[in-house]
A and B are shown apart, each in its own frame.
Chain A
């Protein structure tokens, strides 16, 4: 197990280094000099230019520059935003809370409703199963931004149950303000997870251990709790984890639709303002979060399923 974890950790580090390399290196793929990209269309004084050159080590070889950038990023220093003349890290920490709240909220919704609806669909009455399947069919075809717009129209404009924009303050304020965004973000994944849960619970119902347990005369509730649900959990946990990792890119869309001041919105305004230092920093954070979540899912999956021998890597 230690060897397995070690290898997972190593591949995690490799992926992180490669993607940070891509994000940093893209600066040099852009048309024009790195200087031109970093400054965008802002005119800067020679002093600022010299400071930025020093910060990015622009007079040194590429690998040295990357090394400086990556090591200071690890220490939480992402340089200075040229457009706003403030530290990038400061701008990020000011808005990260909203995004984290949103992702956690949506994850809770996905896990709760996805598994609940899936189990009801698999074990409940046929009619209910039919309507849940129709709903999930529609749900998996609705893009996040269309879901956002429909939710705004129905629950914010027509019914006026929720605010149209803004992230709210305090825990309950946020909970209230972020309900629609989190629902929009979770909708697709809930529909998908419901289907996966339904299939894996159904499969387990006909598995040998479950039939044996039923034949032994165990109470159906015991059979379902001990054998069906527990075995069905393996694919469910994997899919849940992957869906949650997928949310990280989805936050950009939802934050734009609901006018939330989060990391995604910061990324978009930085793209618009050609504030490349911030673009790099936010991209690095979002991609790293995605990669780390994926690796955690991999590890969890292996721990849940004893049949998968850590060490035998299937291609």
Chain B
């Protein structure tokens, strides 16, 4: 997270607000607002959600929408809307852990590779290549096999698996930046490599990093929900959106709504995040 704070502190903060609005466009702002709204609902679930996530209304099982339960209830009489809102917590927190971890490692790796160049660059690039060759989902399954299921295990393995994606893009953007004359100028002035990376290289490629991290957030959300769907991430009765989709008996008993809602929520959230990420990347 410290890197993210650092990026917000970049010298041109004054212009960032205006440029950000310009970049995002109307669609981007709507999409970002939607995701923000979901995040707020997740953060204040205890206030927003009408019921506790595991509150069972025995008289109202598998009911359709009503005044008491806006989206109806599941087979145990739990309020579907409340479970969606509470489920947003792990669904959004997980991807945040993934991209924070991946971005920090990627920044360290990319700036070291670009600054040192030569053999160091080659070694770092080869290590990144190796992790490219290891599918994130399989890495997470291997880690769960060793350490048991859970959000932290899954998020950490995906964080490692996502690092090369962010690092590769960051590295090539930094390489371009490194060859610019002003870097040579501050280098001549005797600024240390670390200081140049922190003050010049990273802030100046920040839009690439932000956009890559945002797009990765969407993919991480899908992968973590998939891991929950496989029973390796969040464990029932706790639920994230992936757990809620994993309910084949609801389909077979003719209550598809409780499975379709979380599915739609995932699709909408990922579409919104990806759109914002692409807008951030556009010049």
| Cβ of B251 under 8 Å from chain A | yes
B193-249 with Cβ < 8 A to chain A: 222, 225-226, 229-232, 242, 245-246, 248
A282 to B146, CA, bound (A): 15
Q: Are A18 and B130 in contact (CB under 8 A)?
A: yes
Q: When the two chains form their complex, are residues B230 and A252 in contact, meaning their CB atoms are under 8 A apart?
A: yes
Instruction: Give the contact stretch, choosing among A98-106, A283-291, A303-311.
Output: A283-291
Cβ-defined contact, A279 with B263, below 8 A = no
Docked CA distance A248–B133 (Å) = 12
Is the CB of A60 closer than 8 A to any CB of chain B?
Answer: no
By beta carbon, the residue of chain B nearest A30 is B146
A149–B263 touching, CB < 8 Å: yes
A146 with B267: CB separation less than 8 A: yes
Given A15-B133, A18-B130, A150-B263, A145 and B225 touching (CB < 8 A)? Answer: yes
Which chain B residues numbered 117 to 150 have a C-beta less than 8 Å away from chain A? 121, 125, 129-130, 133-138, 141-147
Check if A142 is an interface residue, CB within 8 A of chain B. yes
| 9-residue interface stretch from B87-95, B104-112, B252-260 | B252-260
Q: A146 contacts B133, CB within 8 Å?
A: no
Number of residues from A at the complex interface, CB < 8 A = 48
Could you tell me if B146 and A152 are in contact, using CB atoms closer than 8 angstroms? no
B146:A267 contact, CB within 8 angstroms: no
Does A218 make an interface contact (CB < 8 A)? no
Quick check: B133 and A23 within 8 Å, CB to CB? no
A-facing residues in B242-283 (Cβ within 8 Å): 242, 245-246, 248, 251-252, 254, 256, 259-260, 263, 266-267, 270-271, 274
Within the complex, the shortest CB–CB distance from B139 to chain A, in Å, comes to: 9
Give chain A residues whose Cβ lies under 8 Å from the Cβ of B133.
Answer: 15, 19, 287, 290-291, 294
1/0 per residue B142-176: CB within 8 Å of A? 11111100000000000000000000000000000
Per the bound structure, the CA–CA distance linking A270 and B136 in Å amounts to 19
Q: Which residues of B contact A248 (CB under 8 A)?
A: 135
Shortest Cβ gap from A161 to chain B (Å):
15
**A141-B267, A142-B267, A315-B125 are contacts. A271–B226 as well, Cβ < 8 Å?**
no
Residues of B within 8 A of A141 (CB): 267, 270-271, 274
A268 within 8 A of B: yes
Q: Confirm or deny: A143 has a beta carbon within 8 angstroms of a beta carbon on chain B.
A: yes
CA distance A22 to B131 in the complex (A): 11
CB <8 Å contact, A256 and B229: yes
List the B side residues contacting A252 at CB < 8 Å.
137-138, 141, 230
Distance (whole angstroms) from the CB of B121 to the closest CB of chain A? 8
Query: Could you tell me the dominant secondary structure of chain B's interface residues?
Result: helix
Query: With contacts A30-B147, A149-B251 known, is A271 near B130, CB below 8 A?
Result: no
Give B236 Cβ to nearest chain A Cβ, in Å: 14
- Closest residue of A by beta carbon distance from B227: A253
Residues in A222-246 with C-beta less than 8 Å from chain B: 246
Indicate whether A143 sits within 8 Å of B226 (C-beta atoms), given known contacts A31-B147, A157-B252, A271-B141: yes
Residues of A within 8 A of B121 (CB): 315
A 292-315 to B, binary, CB cutoff 8 A, 1 in contact else 0: 001000000000000000000001
Option from A23, A290, A315 in Cβ contact (under 8 Å) with B142: A23
Given A149-B260, A253-B229, A286-B138, 18 new contacts (CB under 8 A): A15-B129, A19-B130, A138-B267, A143-B225, A145-B226, A145-B245, A153-B256, A153-B259, A249-B136, A249-B137, A253-B226, A268-B230, A268-B232, A271-B141, A272-B231, A274-B145, A279-B141, A290-B135
Binding site for A on B (CB under 8 A): 121, 125, 129-130, 133-138, 141-147, 222, 225-226, 229-232, 242, 245-246, 248, 251-252, 254, 256, 259-260, 263, 266-267, 270-271, 274
Q: Which residues of A contact B (CB under 8 A)?
A: 15, 18-19, 22-23, 26-27, 29-31, 37, 137-138, 141-146, 149-150, 152-153, 157, 164, 246, 248-250, 252-253, 256-257, 267-268, 270-272, 274, 276, 279, 283, 286-287, 290-291, 294, 315
